[in-house]
Structure 1
Amino acid sequence: MAEKHEAELKKELENAVKTMLEKDDYTIEKTAQVIRILTRLTELKLKKPSGLGLDDTILSERFKCPISGQIMGDPVVLASGQTYDRPYIENWLKQGNLTCFRSKQVLSHSFLTPNCLVRELISCWHGVSDVAVPEPRQDVGGESITERVRVSLNSLLEKMSSSLSDQKEAAKELRRLTQASLSNRVIFCELPDAISRLLSPLSESKVESHPDLQEDLITTVLNLSTHDYNKRKVAENPVVLRLLTESMKFGTIETRKNAAAALFTLSTIDSNKMIIAKSGAPVTLLEVLQGGHPLAMKEAASTILNLCMMLEIKKQFIDIGVVKVIMQKIYDSILVDELVSILALLSNNPTANEELSEVETVHCLFRVMTNSNSSLTKENCVVILFNVCSEDYPLLKVLWVEELQEKTITELADTGTERAKSKASDLIINMSETFPISEGS
């Protein structure tokens, strides 16, 4: 039985590591999963008289440098996204090669980024495999790779107080570096006053004065915000939310989209939601939703959905008119799936419920529910209709007439999600008890 469990764990570990190395999936959840499996395998090993007997084809092959064929001691990521052992890929580059050894892709740059996560995984695996792992190599003079990256990033930040041409050059490089590597994002936010220094050119002039510079800096903020470690630090900087809010309205299309996307990523943790809500961003998010560029509009809708998870912020959006804006967009068939999700959250609020209590709204949502191919959208529509119509006799009758013709709610009670089945069944019971069947003739 233990052998079978061990084999299952090994297979699960192989799949998890393959995903991380081949699909660049370095999320906290995936890392925790791998460490959990390794810990369990270690526990099994301690209970057995012999070693785990891990098959090298399962794990060690994943941890070998494609050039040397040996377990990596200092894994680094090349511009192509492939991971190599530093001494071997450096030698490959020094020979004048301008392509990735494995993929043959032409390299946009030769900067090597430490792959800290793979190094940690190799160390964990080493603990249960009895295979020696080489020590990480240092640069000439003993300087660590992390320190070299830190010095490079700090030097680029210093250029933010230099000439405009230096600012633009440094901004492009910071955008590239923070996009290329998770570890670069972490190191960046550990530098003293790094975010304020990064954004100082925008703080000292009109945000839209230099659109190319603005785009690079705002995109760098987005890159930094994608790492959970940085989210709170970024949001708590008083400069960031003001500049993101302004940049949703001014600048290139890419700038406006990325500013809204940065707010979305920051809003994914609860501690940031109230900070964003108090910054004045909700008004701008609603303005973008009402009349912004379609790409920024989609990001704004996702951010509003995140923020409305909190009761106090939900009320704030309702007070500034979000229901009216959303319904107009749904009438116009714009971002219907996303906006119906927000309405489902809002519809249990008395004020929002009252705003939704219109005959045309019932017709519109019923049509969306009938025509949609999304099970989640159908679910959200029936939730809204349940909240709006259940206690309103005239609207319930409107819904009942629609249902007699289309049978959409009846079908949903049989084939929908669990939540959709529950709400649809409750609506059917409510309608059948309220209206005699003869009224449908």
Structure 2
Amino acid sequence: MAKSGAAEGSVFDGRRMAEEERKKELRRLVEAIMEDDLGREEVYVDAERVIAALRELRVCAGRGLPGGKSSPATSGQERKQEKPAEDSTVEIDSGMAAPAKVPVPKHFLCPLSSAIMRDPVVVSSGETFDRAYIQEWLSSGKRTCPRTQQVLSNTILTPNHLVRDMIAQWCNDNGVILRQPENHENEGLITAGDRSAFSTLMADLCSPSHPFRNQAVKSLRQLTKRSHSFRAMAGENPAAIPQLLSILSEAGDDRELREDAVTALLNLSIHEPNKTQIGSESSGIALLIESVSFGGSMSTRGNAAAALFSLAALDSNKTKIGKLGAIPPLVGLLGTGEPAAKKDAASAIFNLCVMPENRARAVRAGAVHACLAEIADISSAVADESLSLLALLSADQEAAEAASEGGGVPILLNFLRQGKGAKSTENAVVVLHAVCLIDRRKLREVGEEETQRGTISEVAFGGTARAMRKAVWILERLKKTMHSDRHSY
């Protein structure tokens, strides 16, 4: 008995060592995937091989077996239990292989996606793939067979009707429904290699080890920057975004971790479904607002503003972001940030102020003054963005009054004299029109400019349609004012 116990202990020690070796190899391969801009398929294949070996070790451990194979009796018994009832229907996600209870013939699975093929096609090497995935492979510029690495003589995809009919018959016999993929066509396809890499990344993201978690956040930032599939997988995983937000909430003075987490959120927000998820998380928007104010580096603050801009594409998020107090720190960033951060801040404020209630918040936060300061600065890199924002705000009387009282008329007239782009000229005239509409004294100031230089007339005869309408209105109002003044004497 003692010998038996010792042998059993050595077997399990060996299994643990083997697992650790597989884990180390898998982490190395995941890092290679993240650094590999060429998308070498062999790296993904190696990762799949290691994952399969690790899975086999753990399955055997669960069954109490020392080796890498399950017993025939157990396997046969499980197969009997896994056979579905005649009337049952199993719905299989297109991005996954069938569940264990419906064993899928291996030759029905696409070598690239590990999912059942919906449109099997044959390439010139004689191998069969799902059309969508092999097209993605070829569209990326690769001209080799993903399975054999053989150079393809051509890129013709020939339908494999035999395999298609076999899959259709098998699905019918087993009550399997193949759902169409939810991925948008322009957002790429999720391969088995992608899923393997993401699974490992999630394990590290949820690890109790801070170094592992911090590295996982950095990796997530890098992967979501260039990969549509990783943005989609993070949104589909119910733990990914909440865990990322949890790590951000604990970042404290770790400026590098905060920047990585904020930038990862920015990248994730590009994927449309993620906008709703990030916005619905109780801490998501609040943490981004906090990072705009106290993000540490200017890059972090700018990326947080860019993330708010992205989230504000949804009206529900516009309201929430405004109510949670994002506009004052964004206005502060517009006034004091570096050029790139200022652009992000101006864009975010503009998007938010499409909602009327946020315009009042922006005016109270000093957005009009901040915009005028940028427009007056001939070296400003965000004058055009500031004019667009000011034109939007000036639709509200409170903003027009602030522009009038803040010396806006001479600033805008000076900008018009410089003859900048048509859109910026239009926005400048729109603001002038709004100011003249509520302050007759400023109309006289514009009249003096018109008498000396004909600035408004130039726009009236050579601007955009909207600019011409506003300029003509100003000129007509000037004539009426002059006529009234003459008759008052």
The TM-score range, normalised by the shorter chain, is 0.5 to 0.7
2:280 to 236, 240, 252: 236
1:319–1:291: structure 2 CA closer, same or farther, 3 Å change rule? same
**Of 432, 437, 450, the match for 1:385:** 432
Counterpart position of 2:221:
175
C-alpha separation between the residues in 1 aligned to 2:124 and 2:461? 53
- How has the CA–CA distance of structure 1 residues 68 and 389 changed in structure 2, closer, same or farther, with 3 Å as cutoff? farther
Q: Residues 314-333 of structure 1: matches in 2 within 5 Å?
A: 314-333=359-378
The yes-or-no answer on 1:420 pairing with 2:467 is: yes
Establish whether residue 289 from structure 1 lines up as the match of residue 334 from structure 2.
yes
Equivalences for 1:144-293 in 2 at 5 Å?
146=191, 149-160=194-205, 161-206=207-252, 209-248=253-292, 249-293=294-338
Whole-angstrom distance in 2 between the partners of 1:421 and 1:347: 18
Report the CA distance between 1:377 and its aligned residue. Answer: 0.8
**CA deviations over 1:374-423 (Å, ceiling 9, x no partner):** 11111111111111113433211110110122222112112211111111
User: What is the one-letter code of the residue matched to 2:140?
Assistant: Q
Distance (Å, rounded) in 2 between the aligned partners of 1:77 and 1:381 = 47
| Residue pair 2:400, 2:438 contacting (<8 A) in 1 also | no
1:131-164 deviation digits (Å, cap 9, x = unpaired): 627989xxxxxxx965653453243233234322
Q: In the comparison of the two structures, how many residue pairs are matched? A: 334
**Bigger Cα displacement from structure 2, 287-296 vs 218-227:** 287-296
The whole-number CA distance in structure 2 between the counterparts of 1:210 and 1:171 is 13
Long gaps (5+) in structure 2: 1-120, 165-188
How far off is 1:359 after superposition? 8.1
Deviation at 1:254, TM superposition (A): 2.7
Q: State the one-letter code of the partner of 1:170.
A: A
Matched, 1:132 2:159: yes
- Cα 1:76–1:436, aligned 2, differ >3 Å: closer, same or farther? same
**Is the contact made by 2:128 and 2:160 (CA closer than 8 Å) also made in structure 1?**
no
**Aligned-residue offset at 1:307:** 0.7
Farther-moved stretch of structure 1 (282-291 vs 153-162):
153-162
Partner of 1:307 in structure 2? 352
Superposition TM-score, scaled by structure 2 size: 0.61
CA contact (8 A) 1:347 1:353 kept: yes
The structure with the largest alpha-carbon Rg is 2
Whole-angstrom distance in 2 between the partners of 1:372 and 1:64:
60
Contact 1:72 / 1:84 at 8 angstroms: preserved in 2? Answer: no
CA distance in 2, matches of 1:65, 1:420: 58
Cα separation, 1, equivalents of 2:457 and 2:299: 44
With over 3 angstroms needed to count, the CA separation of the structure-2 counterparts of 1:90 and 1:368, relative to structure 1, is farther
- Alpha-carbon separation, structure 2, partners of 1:328 and 1:157: 46
Offset at residue 341 of structure 1 (A) = 1.0
Q: Which runs of 5+ in 1 are unaligned?
A: 1-62, 102-121, 137-143
Residues 251 and 257 of structure 2 are in contact (CA less than 8 Å); yes or no, is this contact kept in structure 1?
no
What's the TM-score, normalizing by structure 1? 0.67
Q: RMSD over aligned Cα, in angstroms?
A: 3.5
Q: Contact (CA 8 Å) 1:171, 1:213: kept in 2 or not?
A: yes
- Among all aligned residue pairs of Structure 1 and Structure 2, give the percentage whose two residues are the same amino acid: 35
